Amino acid sequence: MIRDELFEILRNGESSVVEFKLDRLEPRDLAKELVAFANFQGGMILLGVDDDGRIQGLTRNHPEEWVMSVCRDKIRPELIPRFEVIRQAESGKDIALVRVGRGWTAHHVWHNQHRTYYIRVGSQSREASPEELERLFQQRGGFRTETRPVQGTTLRDLDLRRLLDYFGRVRGQETPDVNDNQGWTGLLVNTEIMTDSDLGPAVTVGGLLLFGGSPRRFLPQAGIDAVAFPGKEKGLATIERTSLRGPLLPLTGPAGVVENGLVEDAVHFVRRNTPVTAGLEDGIRRKERPAYPAEVLREIVVNALVHRDYLLSGSDIELAVYNDRLEITSPGRLPNGVTPERMRYGVRASRNQLLVDVMRDYGYLERLGMGISRKVIRGMRAHNGTEPDLVEIDERFLVRLWKEKNSSGGFPV
């Protein structure tokens, strides 16, 4: 922000989109103002300025870390504001500018195990009435999660190599010059990988998950927690434990995959932590037999990634390998009235259509959307005669694959 703009804001005073605060305020009070702006049209807080617009300066040693901690610990779902320090706003006095855009969902303050929704009314932030809260949820409900802007992101937060591969090789279309930021922004906005937000063009949730250089920087829930246990139960002893991070899609070249995406990383984790048996095919040729078919593995990983609820920011997808089974658990209930039983019969519904469309472009998903019934259930029956478990538990959906039938010839329990 240039100095003339700053002093114009100070002269005009607080408004529906501007708030003045000293940085000695309590974390809950800062969260309240940011939530109110996010639940309105967005806005800015000038830290280090008193109510009448006089500059008092910053007093905290690390104001940016403090603001980001408040946004992470006191606001649900978390906000990522833009933060800017204006040096020497007056002689020897710095101030900070904290901006948030219009929220893509209804945000609330989380304090003492209690949630409170705030809205902006004129120059005041106050708790929403039941009627106002209902309208807020109705307004925000019209947005698709995967096309909502991730505040603080720009074109630079996308992996240009992966974008060139997708539009050039997969879609077979011309792309802007690598230095043509305006051309790329136009292309990505029109394909929902970016969107025009209140604070300028920003990457969408789906765009960041698919092509982000570091998705977890902005979306802490964008990843897979993978662990392999030596026995049949969870415990402190593990064979391997790792956090899989990065974009969903791989980077490919003329010779094949150059960098893995999350799908490949997850499949490779299972592969190196499950045994491969060897036998003879037709009594002559030696053939290795994995514990779980590659097509089945890839299908359950892809389904977990594209259908999970990315509004639930407190947990990752969980991938657990035991010596008798494999389990993958996605945060969020099944979408649009889908049940595990209906999935077995091939019912089709998606929560994140952008992710589904792009993953189909890469050949990860069937056009008919019947991967669970056709690939997973049929695949495991053909592989070892077992029946996959599809289980919805609270706010999670679990797929369980069995390595083999139990000793009595029936299905494991």
Does position 286 have pLDDT exceeding 70, yes or no? Answer: no
pLDDT at 378 over 80: yes
Lowest-confidence segment of 62-66, 173-177, 273-277 by average pLDDT: 273-277
Report yes or no on 148 lying in a domain: no
pLDDT of residue 367 exceeding 70, the answer is no
Q: How do residues 89-138 score in pLDDT, each as one tens digit?
A: 998 999 999 999 988 789 999 998 889 999 999 999 999 998 888 778 76
Q: What is the DSSP letter of 141?
A: T
**Same domain as 106, residue 21:** yes
| Residue 394 pLDDT greater than 80, yes or no | no
Q: How many domains does the chain have?
A: 3
Cα 31 from Cα 15, distance rounded (Å)? 18
- 137 and 64 together in one domain: yes
pLDDT score at 173: 93
Same domain, residue pair 135 and 273: no
pLDDT tens, 197-244? 777 899 999 999 999 999 999 998 899 999 999 999 999 999 999 999
- In a domain, residue 147? The reply is no
What pLDDT was estimated at residue 332? 85
Looking at residue 41, which CATH number applies to its domain? 3.30.950.30
CATH code: domain of residue 371: 3.30.565.60
Token pair recorded at residue 186 = 């136009």
pLDDT digit string (tens) for 137-170?
767 765 678 888 998 899 999 999 999 999 999 9
* Mean pLDDT value of segment 63-74: 95
The answer to whether residues 69 and 172 belong to one domain is: no
Banded model confidence at residue 283, pLDDT cuts 50, 70, 90 = low
Dist CA 119 CA 135 (whole Å) = 11
Partners of 20 in beta bridges = 46
Domain that holds residue 165: 155-217
Instruction: Indicate if 129 and 166 belong to the same structural domain.
Output: no
In a domain, 407, yes or no: no
Residue 409 lies inside a defined structural domain of this protein: no
Give residue 84's pLDDT: 94
Q: Does one domain contain both 25 and 80?
A: yes
User: Are residues 259 and 116 located together in one domain of the fold?
Assistant: no
Per-residue pLDDT band for 19 (boundaries 50, 70, 90) equals very high
Q: Region 356-385: what's the mean pLDDT?
A: 86
Burial class for 319, CB neighbours closer than 10 Å (0-12, 13-18, 19+): buried
Q: Are residues 183 and 111 in the same domain?
A: no
Per-residue pLDDT tens over the stretch 241-265: 999 999 999 998 777 888 999 999 9
Both 234 and 204 in one domain: the answer is: no
User: Is 407's pLDDT higher than 50?
Assistant: no
Give the closest residue to 219 by CA, choosing from 37, 343, 352, 94: 352
| Residue 280 forms part of a structural domain | yes
Tell me which amino acid residue 238 is.
Answer: T
Q: Are 98 and 234 within one domain?
A: no
The answer to whether residue 233 is domain-embedded is yes
Domain final residue pick, 217, 240, 269: 217
Q: Is 370 helix (H, G, I), strand (E, B) or coil?
A: coil
Q: Does the reported pTM lie above 0.75?
A: no
As a whole number, the mean pLDDT across the chain is 89
Question: Does some domain include residue 325?
Answer: yes
Domain end residue (candidates: 141, 176, 206):
141
The domain boundary, picked from 173, 194, 217, lies at 217
Please report where in the chains the tokens 């605060």 appear, as a residue.
21
Claim to verify: residue 368 and residue 249 sit in the same structural domain? yes
Residue 410 lies in a domain: no
Q: Are 38 and 105 in contact (CB under 8 A)?
A: no
Per-residue tokens: 65: 């870390």
- SS3 (DSSP) at 344: helix
What's the pLDDT score for residue 410? 40
Which range, of 130-134, 285-289, 357-361, 381-385, averages the lowest pLDDT? Answer: 285-289
Does 191 share its domain with 90?
no
